Structure 1
Amino acid sequence: MPVLCFNSHVAYGYVGNDAAGLCLRRLGVEAWQIDTVALSNHPGYGACTGRVVPAADLRALVDGVAARGVLAGTDALLSGYLGAADQAAVVAHAARSLRAANPRALVIADPVMGDSGPGLYVGREVAQALAATVVPMADVVTPNAFELGWLTGRTVAGRDDALAAARELLAIGPDLVIVTSIPEGADSLGLLAVTTDRAWALSVPRLTFPVAPNGAGDALAGLVAAHLTRGAGPDQALAAAGNAIHRVLEATRDAGRRELALPAAQDALVEPGTRFAVTAL
């Protein structure tokens, strides 16, 4: 069950492909990584070294994988962080190539743009390329509340806002929207899975950190991709991914870490438990 993964790579830490890929592999799903940037660490530290991978190099990697004749057996494409706007066209090219080889393959877009508080942390041209090129061609989109608001031009301040915005996003192409980090008062955050005719919700306690770790959205997108390619329904994927990420974040907090405690908490990826239940709306 291979997944072709476009995302960032860092030498130190767990974000991008280094978070999503670990989650996929721990659930028995192969992750074929195409790194959009290669950095020393997440830019959230205030400084990093490395480079954005040129779009032409990314396309050569896609075409090289396709030349092996393996796309017919590839179950999904997962797109995350883009380092430049022209990389969006490469993701679209890869999606077309994959669908030509395997019409049943899923295209999953995690539109990494920003978050509440910092706002956009990619260039506006990258966010616009994601909105115009990547999101409309996806089968599944996994934005956080801020990203969902940016994509739809809505304010997403709670569950009702998120539900309405997710349904608006479905109208441009995706079949499933999974929304994370929905504000639900001071003590909890919500997640939603929304299709054209159904919706499910999950609420988890809000955790506090001296400095919030990065990469939880990348990890959750990897988990969603793993569960969907293994045949889970939207509600099952939401329950498993939401419970697993909360346990990883608890382990991160308890260890006093700045980076996600993914290696230490990896068993929770496989056996997330059912502490937080999904509710049909």
Structure 2
Amino acid sequence: MSDPLPKVLSVQSHVVFGYVGNKSATFPLQLLGFEVDAINSVQLSNHTKYKFVQGQVLDEDDLGKLMDGLRQNDLDHYSHLLTGYVGSASFLKKIGQLVHDLKKKNPDLIYVCDPVMGDNGKMYVPKELLEIYRDEIIPLADILTPNQFELELLTGKKVNNISEVQNAIEILHGKGPKTVVVSSTEIGDDLITVASALKEGIMIKLEIPRLPVAFTGSGDLFAALLLAHSHLQGNIKLAIEKTVNTLYHILKRTYEFSLGNHPDSAQPSQKIELRLIESKKIIENPPSELVAEIL
């Protein structure tokens, strides 16, 4: 009998229309052979870059009830936990308890934490989440995927070059995570992903050509792909190459699609919704165009 499929509990946002949060993460993970159970921290009509947004926000009691239902039925067996956007301090604290509970059930569970707090110098979650991430959640994470702004928030250090990124990553390693991947740094002309895995004793970087558009949901997709390829590939260099090549070619396809014909009523955000379904073959068999370099 073959081993059971790896199983992910993904706790992040949900939109009815478009691709962010769980809508960005679930389909790629399933294509790559993972069972996915999704808990939606918020349920919105669409993401917040649109003119209007309607929806609901789960609180910590809602999360507790959902997990209690799974626990009562003995359904809370997971190989991985993935967390993304959380909008309240009490919900984030509840995730800390969730990590303890799931690791008690499966000590080998891998917790992949995307500490979603902001980008481009601006926080878009309540400021009190920073302290909770830094002091309570980060020490529980096995794999951490901040962007450059979140890296600076979590370490209290501004980063202006690769050496400073490396130093900030070492600070995060000191807080607990064995693998730290800075999903994007804006240093020089290209975007650069920097990754460090203590188990392998290496740090790598991968330069990504810029596209002239700011995408929404790409960080959520990055974290999901990294979870998958960290499990499937067995080494950080190959995992990063698979992750970044997949992401870059999906974004490139999305950008090219955005240049085509759209209804006059289409908002700018609608034109650059991630083209995940059209990218099925890219997810399953990504190109090998972008190659990582060992630092």
Q: TM-score, normalised by structure 2?
A: 0.90
Deviations 1:227-263 (A, max 9, x none): 2233532222111111100001101100013211111
Q: Is 1:159–1:190's contact at 8 Å kept on the other side of the alignment?
A: no
Deviations, residues 143-169 of structure 1 (Å, cap 9, x unaligned): 111111111011122322211111111
Q: Aligned AA for 2:106?
A: N
Q: Provide the residue aligned with 1:147 in structure 2.
A: 150
Is structure 2 residue 134 aligned with structure 1 residue 131?
Answer: yes
Greater mean deviation of Cα atoms: 43-52 or 213-222: 43-52
Equivalent residue for 2:248?
246
Letter in 2 for 1:4: L
> What amino acid does structure 2 have at the position aligned with 1:2?
K
1:258 and 2:262 matched: no
Report the AA paired with residue 248 of structure 1: I
Name segments (4+ residues, structure 1) moved above 6 Å. Answer: none
Partner of 2:266: none
User: What runs of 5+ residues in structure 1 fail to find an aligned partner?
Assistant: none
> Which of residues 174, 180, 185 in structure 1 aligns to 2:177?
174
Equivalent AA in structure 1 for residue 287 of structure 2: G
Residue 70 of structure 1: how far off its partner (Å): 3.4
State the match for 1:51 in structure 2: 56
C-alpha distance in structure 2 between counterparts of 1:151 and 1:247, whole Å: 30
User: Who is 1:203 aligned against?
Assistant: 207
- For structure 2, list consecutive stretches of 5 or more residues without a partner in the other structure: 1-5, 259-270
- Report if aligned partners of 1:181, 1:191 keep a CA contact under 8 Å in 2: yes
Secondary structure at the aligned position of 2:277 is classed as: coil
Which protein has the larger Cα radius of gyration, Structure 1 or Structure 2?
Answer: 2
Could you tell me the percent identity over the aligned residues?
A: 33
- Out of 257, 265, 269, the position equivalent to 2:283 is 269
Paired residues in the alignment total 276
Asked if structure 2 preserves the Cα contact closer than 8 Å seen for 1:3 and 1:77, the reply is yes
The 1:98/1:230 distance shift into structure 2, 3 A limit, reads: farther
Matching residue of 2:195: 193
Structure 2 Cα separation of the partners of residues 232 and 24 of structure 1: 17
Q: Equivalent of 1:81, from 85, 91, 108?
A: 85
Residue of 114, 124, 133 corresponding to 2:118? 114
C-alpha displacement of 1:67:
2.6
